[in-house]
Copies of this chain bind each other. A is one copy, B any other.
Amino acid sequence: MTAIRGARERARSEITEAIKAEARKQLAAEGAAKLSLRAVARELGMASSALYRYFPSRDDLLTALIVDAYNAVGEAAERATTGLRGPDAARPVARWTAICTAVRDWALAHPHEYALIYGSPVPGYRAPRTTTEPAARVGLALIGVVRDAHTAGALKEPAQPLPDAVVGDALALGAELGVELPGAVLARLVGAWAQLFGLLSFELFGQFNRVIEARTEFFEQAVLELARSVGLSTPR
């Protein structure tokens, strides 16, 4: 139904995409704060008022960029595991680090888009329903690795006990996602997920300046530690 729906709809989606592309360009050049609708329109050779037919407000444009960015990291994370060949394709730790480094590579390549989604929320407050699903993709990729390790019997459950409230949240989350994992593992998984982006944010936002120079080695080491914390056994 969407194939031959008239020239107008095709033009609309093309222009919408062109606007987003130009906005992404300005985002990469100057950051979200300096992204200007008028400048986008100017660059596209259209009146600024015409742009409002496609995005009712600046925040809506940003939201669209946010969704795209979440999908871009999410896809990078998902592709990281499917691209593994040889024995690494089955080793949980290798899959785990592949995802984490893919996310880091994406972040280093698109720092302003990273800042858009994992930095401070730009407008008053956002998070329309449409962002929550793409936002979960990286987390789901990580969960997938641990789930597979669990079903393969390669998961070492942590001994340390957790508060009931935390385990309860974790089990509720597992039920919602339809994932069969011990509460303690899921809880640590959420923690590792947050800590992964803590490392990335510190690196990207400059907190590691004059502190850590061997960023890649440091990151991979920390990621191995995170894998261990969720029960994936490290080699050697």
- In the complex, the answer to whether B199 meets A165 with C-beta atoms within 8 Å is no
Q: How many residues of A contact B (CB 8 A)?
A: 58
Q: How far is the CA of A217 from the CA of B167 in the complex (A)?
A: 10
The residue that A33 contacts in the complex, of B118, B123, B196, with Cβ under 8 A, is B123
Q: Is the interface of A mostly helix, strand, loop or mixed?
A: helix
Q: How far is the CA of A27 from the CA of B176 in the complex (A)?
A: 37
- In the complex, the answer to whether A212 meets B190 with C-beta atoms within 8 Å is yes
Known: A198-B195, A199-B194. A206 touches B123 (CB 8 A): no
Q: For the complex, is A107 an interface residue (Cβ under 8 Å from B)?
A: no
B interface footprint on A180-222 (CB within 8 Å = 1, 0 otherwise): 0000000110110111111101110111111111100110111
Known: A121-B115, A197-B202, A199-B198. A166 touches B214 (CB 8 A): yes
Query: How far apart are A50's CB and chain B's nearest CB, in angstroms?
Result: 25
The residue that A211 contacts in the complex, of B116, B190, B209, B210, with Cβ under 8 A, is B190
The residue that A201 contacts in the complex, of B34, B198, B234, with Cβ under 8 A, is B198
Residues of chain B lying within 8 A (CB to CB) of residue A196 = 198
- In the complex, the answer to whether B214 meets A168 with C-beta atoms within 8 Å is yes
- In the complex, the answer to whether A121 meets B166 with C-beta atoms within 8 Å is no
Closest to A193 in B: B202
Q: For the complex, is A30 an interface residue (Cβ under 8 Å from B)?
A: yes
User: 26 interchain pairs (CB within 8 A)?
Assistant: A31-B121, A31-B123, A32-B120, A119-B205, A120-B205, A121-B205, A125-B206, A127-B206, A135-B207, A162-B221, A163-B214, A163-B217, A163-B221, A165-B214, A165-B217, A169-B211, A169-B213, A169-B218, A191-B218, A191-B221, A191-B222, A194-B208, A197-B201, A198-B201, A201-B201, A225-B229
